[in-house]
A = this chain, B = another copy of it.
């Protein structure tokens, strides 16, 4: 059955009111749904009586207006895909519904969590935009559980911090990064890659897998692990914006990987900026699967 679409917070609350006694699972997205989003919806479907999806391309988290303008908007197919994954209700507000005239409030997470990685490149205002819109969405839906993908690792750390600090009553659940057969993390932005760029982009998961393999072989020096990634990217003629290994919770720099660390990168491929990451944790191995044809690349 096709999920119902609501456009306002008032309609959303009215639609959810009869279901407050049951469990509500929520997947916030910017639309352009792909298999990664569907895996979040299926996780929500498994664990909750009601599944709510939001589709909102949030202007306040885009630094470059060209990126905002180019962001794919595919509502009709999103609705069909979401229905297929068991979504009950879709909240798809306008920009005016989320940020009416006079809107003046920002939710901001400070410190290393937002000053490093994407925050260093895109500016903290990116995460102000994320924290503000996610707090608004969580307060609008008031779900029991909200589902985020591990691909946006720093975003998940920011959201977890914000939810804990403000005391928003919701459980944040992180789901594994969904990947194509050659290991490339699924992203709505991948649709903007040419076939050649798409092939080049496969160097990203290969580079992360090489770091995982190095870590598995005992290397604990963050600089050596990052250098391994850089070498693979440069060999594929990709220029990384950053490759960093930081503490997985605080995102602070580390001298050695002794507890779970986040190896995160951003790289431009043609017109598109892609991010990806793996968690390196002593005693844990969860290597990125790479399809055999791609393992033959340098």
- A interface residues with partner B (beta carbon < 8 Å): 9, 13, 102-111, 113, 131-132, 135-136, 139-140, 142, 161-162, 165-169, 250
Complex CA–CA separation, A100 to B110 (angstroms): 15
Q: Which residues of B contact A169 (CB under 8 A)?
A: 13, 139, 142
Complex CA–CA separation, A142 to B142 (angstroms): 12
Whether the pair A108, B105 counts as a contact (CB closer than 8 A) is yes
Q: Which residues of B contact A142 (CB under 8 A)?
A: 169
Whether the pair A107, B107 counts as a contact (CB closer than 8 A) is yes
Contact of A166 (CB < 8 Å), options: B102, B113, B139 = B139
Cβ of A284 to closest chain B Cβ, rounded Å: 23
Chain B CB within 10 A, most for which of A9, A108, A140, A250: A108
Complex CA–CA separation, A167 to B103 (angstroms): 11
Sample of 13 further A-B pairs with CB below 8 A, known A105-B109, A139-B166: A13-B169, A104-B109, A104-B111, A104-B165, A105-B107, A105-B161, A105-B162, A105-B166, A106-B107, A135-B166, A136-B167, A139-B168, A140-B167
**Interface pairs (16), CB distance under 8 Å:** A102-B161, A102-B250, A104-B113, A104-B161, A104-B165, A105-B107, A105-B108, A105-B109, A106-B110, A107-B107, A107-B108, A132-B166, A136-B166, A136-B167, A139-B169, A140-B167
In the A-B complex, list the 8 residue pairs whose CB atoms are closest, starting with the nearest: A105-B165, A104-B111, A139-B167, A106-B108, A104-B110, A105-B162, A104-B109, A105-B109
Q: Which residues of B contact A104 (CB under 8 A)?
A: 109-111, 113, 161, 165
Q: Which residues of B contact A140 (CB under 8 A)?
A: 167
Q: Which residues of B contact A132 (CB under 8 A)?
A: 166
Cβ of A265 to closest chain B Cβ, rounded Å: 24
Complex CA–CA separation, A250 to B110 (angstroms): 28
Complex CA–CA separation, A40 to B167 (angstroms): 25
Q: Which residues of B contact A9 (CB under 8 A)?
A: 167
Cβ of A135 to closest chain B Cβ, rounded Å: 6
Cβ of A168 to closest chain B Cβ, rounded Å: 6
Complex CA–CA separation, A103 to B162 (angstroms): 9
Cβ of A104 to closest chain B Cβ, rounded Å: 5
Q: Which residues of B contact A167 (CB under 8 A)?
A: 9, 136, 139-140
What is the chain B residue whose CB lies nearest that of A103?
Answer: B165
Q: Which residues of B contact A107 (CB under 8 A)?
A: 105-108, 166
Q: Which residues of B contact A166 (CB under 8 A)?
A: 105, 107, 132, 135-136, 139
Q: Which residues of B contact A113 (CB under 8 A)?
A: 104
Cβ of A90 to closest chain B Cβ, rounded Å: 18
Cβ of A200 to closest chain B Cβ, rounded Å: 37
Q: Which residues of B contact A105 (CB under 8 A)?
A: 107-110, 131, 161-162, 165-166
